[in-house]
Structure 1
């Protein structure tokens, strides 16, 4: 998916999307020694820097996160498009200082099949902030490697396995709020920021600040109980039509309003302005997934289906016909 920087708005020129080869197994992510890795049956902890940033919630036991992720994985595996999650294993990696969050990357038979973004709540439980399917998970180390090679930020002589294990290349995952997710990479004396989904280089000079003002820690835990109601439409290119450049957004502020809009027009586009307006991100809306218990999720097409909490997405962007 293309990211459009603000300075191109007047002439409608978009940043070209990076062209990646199909992502292979991300098993190499396990050798990312700069991260805290959690495999099924093991637990991960925040770094000392993270722990010092704010009080750590009582997580009750080290097995709680593992049990919660496995419960979510099993529930989602019954949904269409998540079939590969049934027997998938997973690893987790921390998301930036003070966030008490993790990205969970799922693999099945050596292939990436999806991801989850998990945050601890104030009462020691966990919230499923975001999740997605496909071979291009959020914070894929494989996507990062290919992007750095393509932009000639690392030489092609460095293999993927050597890159993953190279501790002189600082690789930090930053997830400040919905859709604000970046890789922070330090190469020698230079710092680069790349989109955590597409791998595109971002025009940032410092860590992004959260766009949402409400703290995520106060939100309730996630319970994927009962049956999910899912509406899913085919993907389309939001650049085929661009009403989001000159048109007015639809008055969509809730799930019923989104449902009404999708009944009228299946090709809706979600648009958010990121990084103080430096980047415009238009994404095709595929539909929504609403659980019997818990918050509904907006399904966006961003290098594969991306399920973002609807309230957070609507708080950060707008819907266009």
Structure 2
């Protein structure tokens, strides 16, 4: 798992938790969807409640969202590294009040192989905010289960199937923006926060400040094949220019392309949760689509593709 540099702050705020579960799937269902299928109506009520404060745009129909996800899956499945997506099924879940977004986990023969994060746009279409491959997809209940056992917050004797059905453990997915994604877990009235990708226990005492305030304007149209630049991974802790060094002045995709041409060991660093956590990640390259969509490729418990412009806004790159 990724290592963290952590600064803790002392603040105690009691916040209620909300259990969020998958709502829809493609040809098959994930294990946690089947285990909690009886709670589907509760999840639907959650969506209805989340839209009360700020109405959703006209999303046309669930069919449109399903079609968008299926299209992205099919296009990505033709790219190197995404071969397991060709036969994968997917399940989706809402990301919580005010986000107008959904998470998607892809499963191939019972094994988690990737994820997508989707948000509604102003005109009622959808934007692919980020995606990734590997067996640690964003908001994986499998990863969370392992972390809770390792932190001795639940007994190791509790099997996974019993964990996903245990309604006394309250779960809430909190997605603020790319790289700010958190599991909030409430056990015996005590709240714990875990990174939604790595499963690391975070030093948070309250929910992160929401940052997703405006809907994206344009939809994501992936036209392939993509131009993919990929370098070998490395441990960002082997070299520490990001501790005292000066970040590269990168604001445009072309500048990142030039920097990757000069060095195959660039580190992306972002400060999270008001400076409580510094997260350094190896930059593996980027993926550029014919439509102009560009995603930065990071090594974060698997390949993580985040929109390049968002990443350059939220963090810095070091050589």
Distance 1:69 1:45 in 2: 23
Please give the secondary structure, in 1, of the residue aligned with 2:106.
Answer: strand
2:240 is matched with which residue? 242
1:6 is matched with which residue? 7
Shift in Å, 1:56:
1.4
Residue 174 (1) aligns with residue 174 (2): yes
1:99 is matched with which residue? 99
Map 1:196-215 to 2 at 5 A.
196-210=196-210, 215=213
Please give the secondary structure, in 2, of the residue aligned with 1:238.
Answer: coil
* Matched-pair contact (CA < 8 Å) for 2:35–2:161: no
TM-score (norm 1): 0.88
Shift in Å, 1:35:
10
Residue 51 (1) aligns with residue 54 (2): no
2:298 is matched with which residue? 300
* Matched-pair contact (CA < 8 Å) for 1:283–1:302: yes
Please give the secondary structure, in 2, of the residue aligned with 1:252.
Answer: coil
The CA RMSD over aligned residues, in Å, is: 2.0
2:66 is matched with which residue? 66
* Matched-pair contact (CA < 8 Å) for 2:120–2:216: no
TM-score (norm 2): 0.88
Residue 259 (1) aligns with residue 257 (2): yes
2:223 is matched with which residue? 225
Please give the secondary structure, in 2, of the residue aligned with 1:239.
Answer: coil
Shift in Å, 1:181:
0.2
Q: Which runs of 5+ in 1 are unaligned?
A: 8-25, 38-43
1:282 is matched with which residue? 280
Cα deviations by residue, 1:70-113 (Å, 9 ceiling, x for unpaired): 00000000111000111110000111211111110001111111
* Matched-pair contact (CA < 8 Å) for 1:290–1:296: yes
Residue 30 (1) aligns with residue 28 (2): no
Cα deviations by residue, 1:104-134 (Å, 9 ceiling, x for unpaired): 0001111111000001111111000000001
1:273 is matched with which residue? 271
Distance 1:130 1:234 in 2: 21
Aligned residues: 296
Q: Which runs of 5+ in 2 are unaligned?
A: 9-28
